[in-house]
Amino acid sequence: MSTLELHQVSKVYGLGDNEVDAITDIELVVDRGSLVAIMGPSGSGKSTLLTIAGSLEEPTSGDVIINGARLNGMSRNDKARLRRRSVGYVFQDFNLLPGLTAAENVSLPLELDGLAMKKARVKGMAALDGLGLADRADSFPDQLSGGERQRVAIARAVVGERSLLLADEPSGALDSANGESVMRMILNACHGGVAAVVVTHDAKLASWADRVVFLRDGKAVDETLTPPSPEELLNPDVVNPS
Amino acid sequence: MSIRHSLLALLSEGPKYGFQLRQEFETSTGEVWLLNVGQVYTTLQRLERDGLAASDDVEEDERQRNFRITEKGGEELSRWLRTPPDLSEPPRDELVMKVLVASRLANVDVFEVIQVHRRYIVQLMQQWTRLKEDEARLDLAFALAVDAELFRLDSVIRWLDAADGRLRRASSEPTVSPQQSTVSRPRIRRRTGAHR
């Protein structure tokens, strides 16, 4: 069973003459442990695809299946529960709640899901610790650097038993070293069994993925082939004498 | 990639044998660039001929000779480190030529051509990025060399994206033929030998 499946998913905004096809007939399957990047220019439908994959928005047509559960016809409450338990989101602008500490931000989704506060804190601390942030647990978002805030956001996205991580330009506001560490964390989450989808226009970020899907005008126009082993790059291509 | 100057840099740390230079060159470039030992000895001969390196050993067999940098060699190394590579002229770029040619041919979809190249380069970037996955293996020289390659490839993707956007805008606007255009274009001289 794949973690995320999108079949023939389309989204149309507006009515009549004002209709805009945001995405059209998207087919996307993301397995446990894999990292898929969606690359495309602004307005290509990347963010729409991600919000539909995370059930934050309804498709106009097509099927979205998360961990085998079809979202079509699911009640609002059931969808909300599925989101809380299975899906983690990472946004470009972090979206941390300013009045809560890092630890409280991370454990909040578990508390909302009914877990007792103490248990939620223990799991939240474990997630922070896993990302090297244990010593920042009691800091508020405005006391953290951009890179630290995004790491807290990733901890919040993977806390508990989440199986699907969705990230929209997760390092858009960060410098290249922090961007790299964010992608490394997402990749580590995948090695731990999470399936991740990252949308980005940045090839340096997309290149962390196992597979890159290219989006253009709402359609998936192409994708990368399985790359050969990295050792090929380092094979005895002897440098020419200058 | 100047092997000559890289070997001078290694000799500036102290006298060394050829096999040592080869090993240290490969380590210092994060083993991204590999050298064969013949290249090392050929380069050492040239450095000696030009007075940039010297050896006090008189053995015929170069493998037995220990080389050191000369004062002139030190000056040459210092000059080389501070001389910017020539980036003033646009280099001959096969990819740019292909996109320019595709954009003129009525029976070719230039956007499809761009996507073929974009996919290929992203795949290359995936391979380079995989080399960075294992942080424990990521020593500083290796990381610098891999980053340089990733940034170079990324700049090609950015150009392809910009070209894609520019061509799409141009295809939706009324066309102005070069003859109709009243604006004179600055001439860009390229090393391709193509003259307008």
Mutation site, B117, B129, B158, interface A, largest A CB count within 10 A: B129
Distance CA B163, CA B169 (A): 10
* pLDDT score of B175: 61
How far away is chain B from the Cα of A220, in angstroms, using its nearest Cα?
12
How far away is chain B from the Cα of A32, in angstroms, using its nearest Cα?
19
Closest residue by Cα to residue B22 from B8, B4, B43, B36: B36
Confidence band of B76 (pLDDT split at 50, 70, 90):
very high
- CATH number, span B3-82: 1.10.10.10
Interface of B with A in 150-179 (CB under 8 A): 150-151, 153-154, 157-158, 161, 164-165
Longest dimension (CA), chain B: 76
Chain B touched by A207 (CB under 8 Å): yes
* pLDDT score of B142: 85
* pLDDT score of A230: 53
CB contact under 8 A, A204 and B150: yes
Numbered ranges of CATH 1.10.10.10 in chain B? 3-82
Query: If you measure CA to CA, which chain B residue comes closest to A225?
Result: B123
What amino acid occupies position B5?
A: H
CB contact under 8 A, A204 and B33: no
For residue B14, pLDDT beyond 90? yes
* pLDDT score of B180: 57
Under 8 Å between Cβ of A102 and A141: yes
* pLDDT score of A241: 38
Mutation site, A171, A181, A204, A221, interface B, largest B CB count within 10 A: A204
Distance CA A9, CA A23 (A): 7
Q: H or E segment at B155?
A: helix B140-171
Tokens of B172: 């939706």
Chain B touched by A175 (CB under 8 Å): no
Contacts of B126 in chain A (CB under 8 A): 207-209, 212, 224, 227
Mutation site, B34, B127, B139, B164, interface A, largest A CB count within 10 A: B127
pLDDT tens figures, B143-152: 898 999 999 9
Chain A touched by B139 (CB under 8 Å): no
pLDDT tens figures, B183-196: 666 666 555 444 44
Which of B121, B153, B165 faces A41 most closely, judged by CB atoms?
A: B165
Q: Which residues contact A33 (CB under 8 A, 6 or more apart)?
A: A190, A191, A193, A194, A195
pLDDT tens figures, B83-136: 877 777 666 688 898 999 999 888 889 999 999 999 999 999 999 999 888 777
Instruction: Locate the domains of chain A by residue range.
Output: 4-227
For residue B12, pLDDT beyond 80? yes
Confidence band of B54 (pLDDT split at 50, 70, 90):
very high
Q: H or E segment at A113?
A: none
CB contact under 8 A, A239 and B121: no
Which of A223, A232, A238 faces B34 most closely, judged by CB atoms?
A: A238
Which of B34, B132, B164 faces A239 most closely, judged by CB atoms?
A: B34
Class (C level, CATH) for B94-171:
mainly alpha
Distance CA A49, CA A72 (A): 16
Tokens of B112: 């499809």
Average pLDDT over residues B64-75: 93
Closest residue by Cα to residue B65 from B111, B28, B120, B18: B18
Distance CA A208, CA A185 (A): 11
Chain A touched by B141 (CB under 8 Å): no
Tell me the three state secondary structure of residue B58.
Answer: coil
End-to-end CA distance of chain A: 55
Each of the 242 residues of chain A gets a pLDDT tens digit; together they read: 899 999 999 999 988 888 999 999 999 999 999 999 999 988 899 999 999 999 889 999 999 999 999 998 899 899 988 888 899 998 877 788 989 999 999 999 888 888 898 999 998 898 888 778 889 999 999 999 888 888 899 888 888 878 999 999 887 777 787 788 888 888 988 998 999 999 998 999 999 999 999 999 999 999 998 655 555 555 544 443 33
Closest residue by Cα to residue A239 from B20, B40, B13: B40
Closest residue by Cα to residue A213 from A197, A194, A190, A191: A197
Contacts of B33 in chain A (CB under 8 A): 239
Distance CA B132, CA B130 (A): 5
* pLDDT score of B192: 47
Contacts of B153 in chain A (CB under 8 A): 203
Confidence band of B59 (pLDDT split at 50, 70, 90):
confident
Contacts of A36 in chain B (CB under 8 A): none
Q: Is the dihedral of CA A50, A195, A213, A181 positive or negative?
A: positive
CB contact under 8 A, B119 and A214: yes
Numbered ranges of CATH 1.20.58 in chain B? 94-171
How far away is chain B from the Cα of A141, in angstroms, using its nearest Cα?
28
Chain B touched by A212 (CB under 8 Å): yes
Say what the ipTM of the complex is.
Answer: 0.84
Lookup result for tokens 């709640």: A97
Distance CA A46, CA A198 (A): 9
How far away is chain B from the Cα of A132, in angstroms, using its nearest Cα?
15
A222 alpha-carbon distance from chain centroid: 20
Measure Cα distances from B87 to B70, B84, B190 in Å: 30, 8, 12
Closest residue by Cα to residue A181 from A190, A166, A172, A171: A171
Q: Is the dihedral of CA B130, B135, B136, B140 positive or negative?
A: positive
CB contact under 8 A, A228 and B122: no
Distance CA B154, CA B165 (A): 17
What amino acid occupies position A235?
A: N
* pLDDT score of A242: 36
* pLDDT score of B81: 86
Domain A4-227 has CATH 3.30.420.40: no
Phi, psi at A221, each rounded to 5°: -95, -20
